[in-house]
Amino acid sequence: MMLPLPAARADDRPRESCGVFGVFAPDSDVARTTFFALYALQHRGQESAGIATSDLHTASVQRGMGLVAQVFNEDNLRPLRGALAVGHTRYSTTGSSNLRNAQPYLIETMHGPLAVAHNGNLTNSPLLRQRLLERGVGLQSTSDSEVITQLLAAPATDEVSASPWEARIGAFMAQAEGAYSLVVMTRDALFGVRDPLGLRPLCIGELPGDGGSRRYAIASESCALATVGARFLREVQPGEIVRVDGFGLRSTQGQPSLRRALCVFEYVYFARPDSLLEGQTVHSVRQRLGAALWRESPVAADVVVGVPDSALPAAIGFSRASGIPYSEGLTKNRYIGRTFIQPDDLLRRTGVSLKYNPLLCNLSGQRVVLIDDSIVRGNTAGPLVRLVREAGATEVHLRVSSPPVRFPCFMGVDMAIPDELIAHHRTVDEIRQHVEADSLAYLTPAGMMAAVRGDDAGAVRHCSACFDGNYPLSVQDWFDACSGKLAFEASAGHP
């Protein structure tokens, strides 16, 4: 049993678990379409990538470790032919980072091939895993995504086993707890599945077709649809099962959705700024977060600078609301952190200077408002403040466009364990002293939710548990299991 207990690291960013994509488009190069869609979703995970295809009879898969362009080339894409495909790009939360945990999972069943790509985390995965093992089902990986695949392939009752795939998926949803957005490929159909809380995003698009055939794609974010020329249709609704095949697109409700709880961190950090969530662009929401931050925590300054890349829209919003000029102050090396060559101890101690370089002409002699989207462990904020100060800034005021992260996530986001979260055991002023800023202010939970909900301010449809500890489902068993594993590893002398 592998539980999401990440080791301490220099990178202070939360990590999403993955991006998923599926396409039904006969008489087209579905593997190439999926490849470019995964490129657009690569911000959601850079550890591994994979594509599985079906020609309506047999299925093939290609998976590998690394970036999408490191995994695929013309030679290994060429054999991936078919009418439909599913793809996945991964960052591990449940299950270690190695090839056996790379997705999509592809297995042969009594009803033909089955491929599954999963974004999220099942909070009752240990229980479901144990049930499979007791039934004699063998598991090859430590990922809860393989548990999902086997639950679909080998339902617990003969009645469900003989049922159509929609019934199998519904039976899985009745057992599963936690976050899951799935793309599922059978021999001749593509499915999109979203958990009843809608914790992770999933959307549907239509590809241009020739003649009367309808071609559809399903993706974690609408940016992937735009990349492959698909027209955004709508989001997959919480608890919904969408089927795409030769007869078109059909929808069934797999499980009732009694409450919505899309992860608010999709708006704060994870999603690409050009993606659509709940009918609004992520970029516009981030600008509203920045404007709300100014209204709550104004400061006298000469220039507003955002931490590239996800905090830039919030910095623009802060600048527009305050009237303080916005300027680039940091340039980012986008290839650091996406290489298998790790820095040695001396280079690691130089911290963010490996990833960011200051623009001295825009910082020297200035009172700087430095905007970031979040502070998780606190490993990056201090070096960034020092970097700006060493570039000649006379004052550095740190503003964060989300509340303090005080609680871990159990729904598919690597948010660290409580003791690693700087705000879990420090006050805001203690954090200010730790990062050596002249002032520090976070956006309040109320300010964040008002900015995210916009005109629909009264709606309650987001999970903000990492900020307030109010989980949308029970996580006590998972939390106890994590704590037990942590204690075991400490007693065994593991880091």
Burial class (CB in 10 A: 0-12, 13-18, 19+), 298: middle
For every residue of 340-399, DSSP letters joined together read: S----HHHHHTGGGGTEEE-HHHHTT-EEEEEES--SSSTTHHHHHHHHHHTT-SEEEEE
CA distance 426 to 74: 51
| Of 328, 397, 401, residue with least CA distance to 369 | 397
CA distance 164 to 482: 36
In the annotation, is 18 catalytic?
A: yes
Structure token pair of residue 474: 């029970």
CA distance 119 to 44: 10
Helix runs in 411-475, H state only: 422-425, 428-435, 445-453, 465-468
Q: Using CA of residue 264, residue 265, residue 269, residue 271, what is the dihedral sign?
A: negative
CA distance 70 to 298: 45
Helix 381-390, helix 428-435: angle, nearest 10: 50
Please state the φ and ψ torsions of residue 392, each to the nearest 5 degrees. 110, 5
Structure token pair of residue 224: 């992937």
Catalytic residue among 18, 463, 466, 482: 18
Note whether 256 and 196 are within 8 A (CB). Answer: yes
Q: Using CA of residue 70, residue 72, residue 73, residue 75, what is the dihedral sign?
A: positive
Note whether 305 and 330 are within 8 A (CB). Answer: yes
Name the region of 346 (left: φ>0; alpha: ψ -120 to 50; beta: rest): alpha
Note whether 5 and 416 are within 8 A (CB). Answer: no
DSSP, collapsed to helix, strand or coil, labels residue 367 as strand
| Of 319, 226, 337, 220, residue with least CA distance to 270 | 220
Residue given tokens 């109320």 in the structure block: 446
Burial class (CB in 10 A: 0-12, 13-18, 19+), 207: buried
Note whether 104 and 2 are within 8 A (CB). Answer: no
Note whether 339 and 355 are within 8 A (CB). Answer: no
Active site residues: 18
